[in-house]
Amino acid sequence: MPAIQSQQSSRPAVSVVTAAVAAAFAFGAAVAHAAPPTKIGKGEGQVDIVAWPGYIERGDTDKNYDWVTDFEKKSGCKVKVKTAGTSDEMVALMNEGGFDLVTASGDASLRLIAGKRVQEVNTKLIPSFRNVDPRLQTARWHHVDGKHYGTPYQWGYNVLAYNTNAFKQAPKSWKVVFEEMTLDDGKSNKGRVQAFDGPIYIADAALYLKATKPALGIKDPYELNEDQYKAALDLLRQQRKLVSRYWHDAMVQIDDFKNEGVVASSSWGFQVNLLQGEKQPIASVVPVEGATGWADTTMLHVNAKHPNCAYMWMEHSLNPKLQGDLAAWFGSVPAVPAACKGNKLLGDTGCATNGANEFDRISFWRTPVAKCSDPKGCVPYYRWVSDYIAILGGR
């Protein structure tokens, strides 16, 4: 997959400095929104999109990666993009308004729905929706109360990246980043591991505890009662003594693996592919406990100024060529399975390389909310944010 080795923007981490954004919502019994449109009118000439860096390409960095120019010619809708560095920033921008669409991850999408910042979409006006992976069509991070609040875009997972000189065999468990131990090279892992710097990483600790401490009764890493949540925080405080850096910039993490002695960390396929492209001794694995991951949804602002162009873009975003090209560019997995075959840039093995076969082992990012499957309730996201900030500060 040579495309992965080209220079591109990394997928940003979740910010830990915007707790106010996380605290500004709560789920009620139901989410009320206006009915979606029943037809698409003439394009308004423009569509404004908030997106992760690298998600909306027009060939400026590499002419092979351009899924905007053709759309603009056919639709008459000029695409304007505002990149956002974190999920919290996306939520803030959508709260401010002035945008039509956002490519929201699961730790933002439920906040946008609950906050009534996005509207229900009529999938009958998006013919290609039927080609979306059935596992994504009604995913709980964008499908609420029987209503669709967007169209799936891409997905991926958080792997355990490791240095093959420090590990004679692939590590089987996330234990290597959570607990102090001596590695195969005879050295301690203390000061040689990293962790993700977003509060959603609490779910990674919960997922590990789900497998290693079954007495806690964790069923869903995003639905934690007080005891389960405390156990996850205790594990993360223990991990704090081992971590050399909490990463949020993929390019910095790449440099840390190359030059700063990092030997194990949660990571993305993007970093691993780039490091392997540079012949670095880096590999990755999904440990026995499974992994967390992200699945992004293109969502329509409740007050979109260009809804017709927005619907045209959502349809365009699901065509197999765009899906395959984007997966090759970003190191992700297409939301449309047909994109996995016959794409020149992705190649017929690209989806497997990017993790397409790991779907069932992934606990996809989802905003933790107080109202959950536990009748007693769960710890909501605003507490995840404030408590994780405290952990990063050594408290």
pLDDT band, residue 61 (cuts 50/70/90)? confident
DSSP per-residue codes, 100-129: SEEEE-HHHHHHHHHTT-B----GGG-GGG
Enter the tokens of residue 76. Answer: 């008459």
What is the structure's pLDDT at 5?
Answer: 32
Instruction: Answer whether residue 82 shows pLDDT above 90.
Output: yes
Report whether pLDDT(111) > 60.
yes
Average pLDDT over residues 127-156: 96
Instruction: Give the DSSP per-residue string, 305-324.
Output: S-HHHHHHHHHHTTSHHHHH
Residue 20 pLDDT exceeds 60: no
Per-residue confidence at 387, pLDDT binned at 50, 70, 90?
very high
Structure-model confidence comparison of residues 23 and 48, the more confident one: 48
Residue 1 pLDDT grade (very low, low, confident, very high; cuts 50, 70, 90): very low
- Residue 107 near residue 126, CB atoms below 8 Å: no
> Residues near 21 by Cβ (< 8 Å), separated by ≥ 6?
88, 91, 92, 95, 111
Separation of alpha carbons 393 and 16, rounded Å: 11
pLDDT-derived band of residue 361, with 50, 70 and 90 as boundaries? confident
- The tokens for 211 are 């497998």
pLDDT at site 24: 46
Structural class in CATH, domain 2-155+294-357: alpha beta
Is residue 14 predicted with pLDDT exceeding 50? no
Average pLDDT over the chain, rounded to an integer: 90
Q: Taking the CB of residue 186, how many other CB atoms lie within 10 A of it?
A: 7
Q: What percent of the chain stands above pLDDT 90?
A: 79
| Strand ranges inside the chain, DSSP E | 46-51, 78-83, 101-104, 143-144, 147-148, 151-157, 159-163, 193-196, 243-247, 264-267, 282-285, 291-300, 333-334, 362-364
Question: What spatial distance separates the first Cα and last Cα of the chain, rounded to whole Å?
Answer: 43
9 has a pLDDT exceeding 60: no
Q: Model confidence over 217-274: pLDDT tens digits? A: 999 999 999 999 999 999 999 999 999 999 988 889 999 999 999 999 999 877 887 8
pLDDT tens track for 306-333: 999 999 999 999 999 999 999 998 889 9
Asked if 393 and 382 count as a contact pair (C-beta separation under 8 A), the reply is no
The answer to whether residue 26 scores a pLDDT higher than 60 is no
Asked if residue 289 lies in contact with residue 207, where contact means CB atoms within 8 angstroms, the answer is yes
Residue 107 has pLDDT above 70, yes or no: yes
pLDDT of residue 250: 82
- Choose among 88, 91, 108, 107: nearest CA to 99: 91
Looking at the chain, the domain(s) classified CATH 3.40.190.10 span 2-155+294-357, 157-292+371-392
* Token pair for 292: 């967390």
DSSP structure class, residue 182: B
Instruction: Output the pTM of the full model.
Output: 0.82
CATH of 157-292+371-392, one of 3.40.190.10, 3.50.50.60, 3.40.50.150, 3.40.50.300: 3.40.190.10
Give percent above pLDDT 70 in the chain: 92
Q: Which residues pair with 193 in a beta bridge?
A: 243, 264
Q: Taking 80 as the threshold, does the pLDDT of residue 21 lie above it?
A: no
CA atoms within 13 A on the CB side of 36: 23
More confident site: 32 or 252: 252
The whole-number average pLDDT for the span 168-189 is 98
Q: How far apart are CA 22 and CA 368, in angstroms?
A: 10
Over residues 360-381, the mean pLDDT reads 92
List the single range of 26-40, 106-120, 163-177 with lowest mean pLDDT: 26-40
Report the alpha-carbon distance of residue 53 to residue 73 in Å, rounded: 23
Tell the residue number behind the tokens 């790991």, with chain if given: 358
At residue 33, the pLDDT reads 58
Q: Return the amino acid letter for 334.
A: P
